[in-house]
Structure 1
Amino acid sequence: MRPSIYFNVHLVSDSTGETLNAVMRAAAAQFENVIPLEHNYYLVRSERQLERVMRDIEAAPGVVWFTISDEALRMKLEQFCRAKQVPVLAVLDASIHLLSRHLGVAATDRVAGQHALNQEYFERIEAINFALAHDDGQNLQGLIHADVILVGVSRTSKTPTCVYLANRGVKAGNIPLVPGVPPPAVLDQIDPANGPLVIGLKIGVERLVQIRSQRLIALNETSTTDYTDEEAVRSEVTEASRLFQRKKWTMIDVSRRSVEETAAAILNKLNERRGQG
């Protein structure tokens, strides 16, 4: 196996840096055994702040990605990087230019435009609060106001998927299925046509045993229980699948899906239901 390659990547943003982090990690993931050493600089909006960034870049050369709206600061950073022969890329420029050409409208130089306090922003915050308040079977009656309800056995990534969906403005709650305990009655009160979209999260037995075993190791728990016993887990998974089929809920297999992939599949199902697919 080829040894790992480490490289410095400087992420310079006049906002929160979310875009840069997402793009950098997506790009780095396409290379095997490549490990970026992140240097993050957020809310860079003055020459003084940029001077500190440039000193750091000079001390640890690598790749520079930036999202800066101020033209003077952009030029200063780009000229510095060219002089030092450091690769530099304005991450959003190509996308902004494409939209500008398509729409026939010039882009603004608004800082952190994606974080404007508009209706969408407040809906996202409301969705996050909803996910936290309706996590792991809490406030069951309030789930009738959800957009999506996730149902599944323990360790099927219900909570992180709900939080991810909330960041997309979707109000999601989740209900754990516990062996020997009947599902909460609220699930029988859901209107299949107009109520929340109920999603059953399926998972393979071997994969679930692996995930749960790793969880116990992380907690320094060494005792053997039904939580990781293969036959007990098989029975648990089978019973959950039967419930999903009996209720005719949409099912998504999360065995080899990341949280992002599961959320994307749920968003597709939700859009189809709303007639946007």
Structure 2
Amino acid sequence: MDQAARADKTKAARRTFFHVHLVSDSTGETLSTLLKSVAARFPSAKPLEHVASLVRSHTQLDSVLARIEQAPGLVMYTVVDPGMRRRLEVKCAELQVPAISCLDPLLNAFADYLGLEQTRQAGMQHELDEDYFRRIGAIDFTLAHDDGQNTWNLEAADVVLVGVSRTSKTPTCMYLANKGIKAANVPLVPGVDPPPELEKLRKPLVVGLTANPDRLAAIRTSRLSNLGSEDRAQSYTDGAAVRDEVTKAKRLFVKNGWPMIDVTKRSVEETAAKILTLLSIRRGGEG
């Protein structure tokens, strides 16, 4: 097989799967997030992810370079130490694989704009600072106020999500909590009045979550099937009953002037982003 044929075969294989090495002197979370975002644009090719986190010595880097040589592929890295960066870049050049320093363009732009020097300390974003403890406190609060728990102190929340079953209240709250937002959620249950504290809230941003009734019914049916409970709570999946639930929920949202988000075609991240925007606007108005 000549060189051109081998190159074509290699390219064809990459269309199915490809190796990606994530090399970081910190946790590697930033690189993993970037990889997922970029790889989603190429759905026909599957990245085989090799994570090397907390790489802070040349001995550790030796192991990483050996793995890259064994399974050549894209290399994404966030490494502060100049000597280690240079070794990684030289080895990737020898292997003829791309080496991408993912944060350099942002860091350089910030440095130029601010007129400040960059710190050379690895993993500073993960220090146990005030933001870290605020995030942990938010997660604790959100877990304690999931699914209508502890409604007596909802006033301490930053955000309260209200909606019928299967409108992504819990995962959205957990996403917000990881951003340091104290988020609670209150389910709307047919035949049960919402807790009286809900309509008296002043400090939290209360947001109503809704969805297409037919889509909700399908999601609920699938969930009951997975739980082996298809015959239970027929009204839970009945199309007319679900439509009635959604209509009543929307009336409650309008009555109280709560902003409403339709989550039918939104991911949890998109819903959370909208809520964060609403919260920013509210806090700006209060300021």
Q: Is there any run of 5+ residues in structure 1 with no aligned partner, and where?
A: none
1:27 matched residue in structure 2: 38
1:9 matches 2:20: yes
Q: Is there any run of 5+ residues in structure 2 with no aligned partner, and where?
A: 1-11
1:262 matches 2:235: no
Deviation at 1:5, TM superposition (A): 2.4
TM-score calculated relative to the size of structure 1:
0.93
Deviation at 1:34, TM superposition (A): 2.5
1:39 matches 2:50: yes
Which consecutive aligned stretches of 4+ in structure 1 deviate over 6 angstroms post-superposition? none
1:214 matches 2:217: no
Greater per-residue helix proportion: 2
Return the alpha-carbon distance in structure 1 between the equivalents of residues 78 and 192 of structure 2. Answer: 51
The structure that has the greater radius of gyration is 2
Aligned partner letter, 1:266? I
Moved more, 5-14 or 260-269: 5-14
Q: Write out aligned runs for 1:1-277 (5 A).
A: 5-191=16-202, 195-223=203-231, 225-275=234-284
* 1:207/1:97 CA distance change after superposition, 3 Å: same
Return the alpha-carbon distance in structure 1 between the equivalents of residues 226 and 16 of structure 2. Answer: 28
Return the alpha-carbon distance in structure 1 between the equivalents of residues 243 and 33 of structure 2. Answer: 37
How many residues are treated as equivalent by the alignment?
A: 273
Deviation at 1:116, TM superposition (A): 2.1
Return the alpha-carbon distance in structure 2 between the equivalents of residues 223 and 42 of structure 1. Answer: 48
2:9 matched residue in structure 1: none
SS in 2 for 1:227: helix
Deviation at 1:102, TM superposition (A): 0.8
Aligned partner letter, 2:106? S
Residue by residue over 1:67-110, the C-alpha shift from the partner in whole angstroms, topping out at 9 and shown as x without a partner, is: 11122211111111111111110111110011111111110111
Percent identity, aligned pairs only, is 53
RMSD: 1.9
* 1:216/1:62 CA distance change after superposition, 3 Å: farther
